[in-house]
Copies of this chain bind each other. A is one copy, B any other.
C-alpha cells in the first residue's frame, strides 16, 4: 500500500522528503514505539534527518517524543547522547473501519498501530436498500466516536463489503448476497453522516489479506492468499508484497473458478463454480443448518466436535480448489478466513488430501495453510489499514483534509 514510484520517473528532493516522512510513520505504525536510533538504523538515514522528520510528525500531532529513560540499556552503549524515542500520540489521528456483512455490520474507531478504541455492532437483516444499510452504519459510526477526543482528527473511513468493488472510485459493481448492483456506498454513508471526508470502499477478502499481511499471520510474508468464506467465497491476494488488484479491482474471485461442470448452477450465471461446492449454503446443508442461518455458520461450526461425511466430502473439495489457487498464485501462505477457519479443524485431513492430489509439488512444497491470527477482526482491521493508507503515504496532506471536533460534528 506504499505509494509506488512510477517506472521511468526521476526522483527529487521533495519527493524523497515526503516519502521518508511517510516511511517513518509507517515504521512507528507497525512497531508502536521506536527509538530514533532504531529508526536511523532501519531507514539508513542519518540522525539529523530522522530528528527533523520525527519533529515534523510531532508538530502534526501524530507522534510524541519519549524520553531516553524509556530506551533500552543496549541502545545507550554507542557514542553520544542516548537516543530519544518516538511513539504514537495518545490523541492522534484515527479512522473509522466498517465491516459490512450480509446481515450485520461491525464498526470501530481505530487508531494508528491498529488499536481498536471503540466498537459497535448491529444487525442489518431485513434492510434491503443500500440507503437503509447506510443509515444503520452512520448510526454505528456516531456511536463509536462519542468518546473520541475532540482534538483528535478523523482522517477517513474504510468500508469492507462482500462484493466486487471498482478500484478507481469504490463503486460496488456487484454484491450478490446483498443484491446490490452499482451502489456508491461511500456517498450513501457520507450523506447519512452529513460530512465530507475520504471514504475507501474495498472488497472484504482484499482487506482481510491486507490486515493479515500488515499485522497478522502474514507479517513478513510477501506472497499470501487470504480466503474469505462468508456466504460467498473470495480471495484477497498479496504478491511480491503488494495487493493483486487487477485492472478494475476485481481480481481474486476464486469462488468462480470452474470446479465441476456437472455441478449445480451458480448465482453468477455459470455452472459448477467452486463456490457452489464449498460456499455457505453447501456448508449449511452439510451440517444440517437452516439456509437462513448461513451468516451464522461460524457459530454453528464451533459447536461441532466431529464432521459429517458430507462435510468431510466438502473438505476434500476445499483442498482440491485450494490446489488450483496454489498452482495459479504460488503463495507462501494461505490464510483460511471466515467460516473456513472453523471448518478447517474439523476436516483438516480431507483438505490436505485434496490439496496433495491436485497441487504441483514445487508449489505445494513452499505453502503453509493457516487461520487468521487477527481472528474475526481481519477484515475490520483491513478496512482501518485502507483508511489509514493516505496518512501513511503523505501525512501532511492527510492531516490537512481530516475532520476535527468529531464528536460534536457528527452528533450535530
Interface of A toward B, CB cutoff 8 Å? 2, 4-5, 7-12, 16, 19-20, 23, 26-27, 30, 42-45, 49, 164, 166, 173-174, 222-223, 239-242, 244-254, 256-262, 268-270, 320-321, 323-325, 327-332, 357-358, 360-363, 365-367
Asked if A328 and B366 sit within 8 Å, CB to CB, the answer is no
User: With A and B bound together, what is the CA distance between A331 and B8 in angstroms?
Assistant: 22
A/B interface sample: 15 pairs, CB < 8 A: A5-B5, A7-B241, A9-B43, A12-B45, A174-B362, A223-B245, A239-B239, A242-B242, A245-B330, A246-B330, A248-B366, A250-B360, A253-B330, A256-B324, A270-B357
Return chain B residues, CB-CB under 8 Å to A327: 253-254, 256-257
User: With A and B bound together, what is the CA distance between A254 and B360 in angstroms?
Assistant: 11
User: With A and B bound together, what is the CA distance between A20 and B7 in angstroms?
Assistant: 11
A174-B360, A256-B327, A270-B358 known; 13 other A-B pairs, CB under 8 Å? Answer: A5-B5, A9-B42, A10-B44, A173-B362, A222-B247, A239-B239, A252-B328, A252-B330, A253-B360, A254-B328, A257-B327, A258-B258, A325-B328
Return chain B residues, CB-CB under 8 Å to A325: 328
Asked if A328 and B251 sit within 8 Å, CB to CB, the answer is yes
Interface residues of A, dominant DSSP: loop
Return chain B residues, CB-CB under 8 Å to A330: 245-253
Asked if B324 and A257 sit within 8 Å, CB to CB, the answer is yes
User: With A and B bound together, what is the CA distance between A241 and B250 in angstroms?
Assistant: 16
Asked if A251 and B173 sit within 8 Å, CB to CB, the answer is no
A2, A12, A259, A362, most chain B CB atoms within 10 A: A362
Asked if A258 and B358 sit within 8 Å, CB to CB, the answer is yes
Min distance, Cβ A113 to any Cβ of chain B, angstroms: 15
User: With A and B bound together, what is the CA distance between A49 and B12 in angstroms?
Assistant: 11
| Among B26, B246, B324, contact of A239 (Cβ-Cβ < 8 Å) | B246
Task: Please give me the residue from chain B that is nearest to A330 by CB atom.
Answer: B246
Return chain B residues, CB-CB under 8 Å to A174: 360-362
Return chain B residues, CB-CB under 8 Å to A42: 8-9
Return chain B residues, CB-CB under 8 Å to A16: 11, 16
User: With A and B bound together, what is the CA distance between A222 and B245 in angstroms?
Assistant: 11
Asked if A258 and B261 sit within 8 Å, CB to CB, the answer is no
User: With A and B bound together, what is the CA distance between A240 and B245 in angstroms?
Assistant: 8
Task: Please give me the residue from chain B that is nearest to A46 by CB atom.
Answer: B12
Return chain B residues, CB-CB under 8 Å to A323: 258, 270
Min distance, Cβ A302 to any Cβ of chain B, angstroms: 30
Return chain B residues, CB-CB under 8 Å to A166: 362
User: With A and B bound together, what is the CA distance between A260 and B262 in angstroms?
Assistant: 9
Min distance, Cβ A173 to any Cβ of chain B, angstroms: 4
With A8-B43, A9-B43, A260-B261: A223-B246 Cβ-Cβ less than 8 Å:
yes
Task: Please give me the residue from chain B that is nearest to A253 by CB atom.
Answer: B327
Asked if A246 and B23 sit within 8 Å, CB to CB, the answer is no
User: With A and B bound together, what is the CA distance between A332 and B251 in angstroms?
Assistant: 11
Task: Please give me the residue from chain B that is nearest to A261 by CB atom.
Answer: B260
With A270-B358, A320-B258: A27-B44 Cβ-Cβ less than 8 Å:
no
User: With A and B bound together, what is the CA distance between A269 and B331 in angstroms?
Assistant: 20
Min distance, Cβ A220 to any Cβ of chain B, angstroms: 11
User: With A and B bound together, what is the CA distance between A27 and B245 in angstroms?
Assistant: 27
Min distance, Cβ A255 to any Cβ of chain B, angstroms: 8
Asked if A257 and B257 sit within 8 Å, CB to CB, the answer is yes
Return chain B residues, CB-CB under 8 Å to A262: 262
Asked if A329 and B244 sit within 8 Å, CB to CB, the answer is yes
Nearest 6 pairs of A and B residues by beta carbon:
A246-B330, A10-B43, A247-B332, A251-B330, A10-B45, A223-B247
